[in-house]
Structure 1
Amino acid sequence: MGETRGDKIFGIVNNTLLLVILAIVLYPLIFVISASVSNQLVVSSGEMWLFPKQLTFVGYQKVFQNHDILVGYGNTILYAVVGTSINLVMTILAAYPLSRSKFAGKNVIMFIMVFTMFFSGGMIPTYLIIKKMGMLNTMWSLVIPNAVAVYNIIIMRTFFKESVPIEVQEAAMIDGCSHTGILLRVMMPLSMPILAVMTLFYCVDHWNSYFSALIYLTDRAKFPLQLFLREILIQNQMDKMAGGATSLSEQIMYGQAVKYAVVVVANLPVFLLYPFLQRYFVQGMTIGAIKG
């Protein structure tokens, strides 16, 4: 069927709006990347507004000369990998039984879980519990208290319930599969889209998290990257990293270069992760959000 005039107008308007939104989202990213490799005098004067000018990598040199940044980078990667692995296992183990129609008490359990989304014990009781369990100043204080997100359980439960045909599960059960076998051999291979979404959600949460580390960690050798970035951006650590500057203006320029470089370095792993999950991301978000 040929497009009507209204369809063509809608397509033009829709594409125009999408291009505007793309430009709004993409411009800050391109600007920060360009500013991180440009002369800061040019950036401050407004001459550089999109693409790099007067290339210089002094910001990255200062960042990677800082031992704390490298330590924080390694710690954050470790916390993100371990934390995301725990998150996925816990979310799957909670979502699968709640998706079963014959699971007794699932509505009560679901109500209790959803209740925690609106009410929590608070920061001080949580701190006391973690201290009592001996997890202070350890990696586990960052990954165990946030081992599962109720909202993600709901999304995954909905995916299991609505997107994996019950006939396939019944056929596996007739062939002798236990619930564990169904979960590992049937549900998991068919759940790559939602697993990709959960991986991205949890990984980004761990990568950006700094408040838990600020509360529970005291050993600088265990600090994640975000705490060191906080020191650089909020406190006066820029001046220490720019020790070679001979004037206040040069210190400010070095500090600006470091800030732009730090933003790029901190977000690079997430940028690299997304292309591998992109093929599943839209499908998983759509299926998990509109059903159930």
Structure 2
Amino acid sequence: MNKNREIKIKTFGIFDFVNGAFMCLVIAVTAYPVLYVLFASISDPADFASHKGLLFYPLGFSLEPYKLVMKHPLIMRSYLNTIIILVLGTATNMLFTSVGAYVLSRKNLKFMAPIMIMIAFTMFFTGGIIPNYILVNNMLKMGNSYTALIIPGAISTYNLIVMRTYFQGLPDSLEESAKVDGATDFTVLFRIILPVSAPIIAVMILFYGVGHWNSWFPAMLYIREREMFPLQLIMREILLQNSSDSMVGTITDTSIKADISESIKYSVIVIATLPIVTIYPFLQKYFVQGIMVGSLKG
């Protein structure tokens, strides 16, 4: 009896050690690229340019790349554009997704199966880039406007299904008692269902918000005026098209210009990532609860 217990304790200890070591490795592999970008952005440009290999700490200290980025004529404007798209887009997403999820979660909805098949069909088959461009730009006349970045993606099929599943898990008595008092479906949704659905709402806001913040391809297709570019599209230009050279035009020394141009790229990445990293901890406590409850049933 004691021998079997000792074997179990020993086995459990080995599992804990291996599991802990593996998780530490995963954390290191995940965190190192983030730390590398951060350290590179605040390192002295000359020291960083001459450094080869891994980077575990800042090489000197300099905020000059950040100062040059902030002087870029379109950085702050693109920040404002992204915030506008984020706020309007996420609000639109939440309105349409919550209404659609509520309707699809009702047990008395007719033709439920065919409707869900048509909705799920869009997850696997789409019209493609060219038909979408013709639809949005030529037929709907949304070209060169923020509506082209918001309306076509107003509902994510995956998020709709997750939110619908969460609503299905709520007690039927919530709706029944409200209907007895004469409440309409809109009253039930906005005054009863949504107030008790904080976890799934936080998850949906996080999903949609991160999607809008990181999106650049639709803007590249539909937005023609550079003053309307979102932050990610400006960052793409800096990273891929070497437009960082325009930020260091006043520097005459070519070696210094090359060094600081490289540091500017990392600084832009930090500036673009910082808001999402800052907001995530406030929503993280809802994340696991919302996504698990919204994906287990049905």
TM-score by length of 1: 0.93
Asked if the contact 1:35/1:48 (under 8 Å) is kept, the reply is no
Q: 1:205, CA displacement in angstroms?
A: 0.8
Query: 1:86 maps to what in 2?
Result: 92
- Identify which of 126, 135, 139 aligns with 2:142: 135
Q: 1:140, CA displacement in angstroms?
A: 0.4
Letter in 2 for 1:64: M
Mapping of residues 239-258 of structure 1, within 5 Å = 239-258=245-264
Query: 1:55 maps to what in 2?
Result: 61
* Equivalent position SS for 1:117: coil
* Equivalent position SS for 1:188: helix
Deviation string, structure 1 residues 12-48 (Cα, Å, up to 9, x no partner): 3222222221111111111211110101333231487
Q: Please give the alpha-carbon distance, in whole angstroms, between the structure 1 residues aligned to 2:34 and 2:13.
A: 32
* Equivalent position SS for 1:201: helix
Q: Please give the alpha-carbon distance, in whole angstroms, between the structure 2 residues aligned to 1:41 and 1:118.
A: 49
Asked if the contact 1:58/1:257 (under 8 Å) is kept, the reply is no
Query: 1:261 maps to what in 2?
Result: 267
* Equivalent position SS for 1:67: coil
Query: 1:271 maps to what in 2?
Result: 277
* Equivalent position SS for 2:74: helix
Query: 2:178 maps to what in 1?
Result: 172
Are 1:197 and 2:221 counterparts?
Answer: no
Count of aligned residue pairs for this structure pair: 290
- The alignment's C-alpha RMSD in Å is 1.8
- Identify which of 33, 36, 41 aligns with 2:46: 41
Q: 1:272, CA displacement in angstroms?
A: 1.5
Asked if the contact 2:46/2:260 (under 8 Å) is kept, the reply is no
Query: 2:33 maps to what in 1?
Result: 28
- Identify which of 56, 60, 64 aligns with 2:70: 64
Q: Percent of aligned positions with the same letter in both sequences? A: 40
Q: Please give the alpha-carbon distance, in whole angstroms, between the structure 1 residues aligned to 2:13 and 2:139.
A: 65
Which shows bigger deviation, 148-157 or 239-248? 239-248
Letter in 2 for 1:25: T
Q: 1:248, CA displacement in angstroms?
A: 3.1
Which shows bigger deviation, 138-147 or 243-252? 243-252
Q: For structure 2, which runs of at least 5 residues remain unmatched after alignment?
A: 1-5
Cα gap change, 1:6 to 1:166, in 2 (>3 Å): farther
Cα gap change, 1:11 to 1:165, in 2 (>3 Å): farther
Q: Please give the alpha-carbon distance, in whole angstroms, between the structure 2 residues aligned to 1:18 and 1:43.
A: 30
Asked if the contact 1:159/1:194 (under 8 Å) is kept, the reply is yes
Query: 2:3 maps to what in 1?
Result: none
Asked if the contact 2:45/2:62 (under 8 Å) is kept, the reply is no
Are 1:231 and 2:237 counterparts?
Answer: yes
Q: Please give the alpha-carbon distance, in whole angstroms, between the structure 2 residues aligned to 1:241 and 1:34.
A: 21
- Identify which of 122, 131, 134 aligns with 2:128: 122
Query: 1:161 maps to what in 2?
Result: 168
* Equivalent position SS for 1:23: helix
Q: Please give the alpha-carbon distance, in whole angstroms, between the structure 1 residues aligned to 2:14 and 2:53.
A: 38
* Equivalent position SS for 2:195: coil
TM-score by length of 2: 0.92
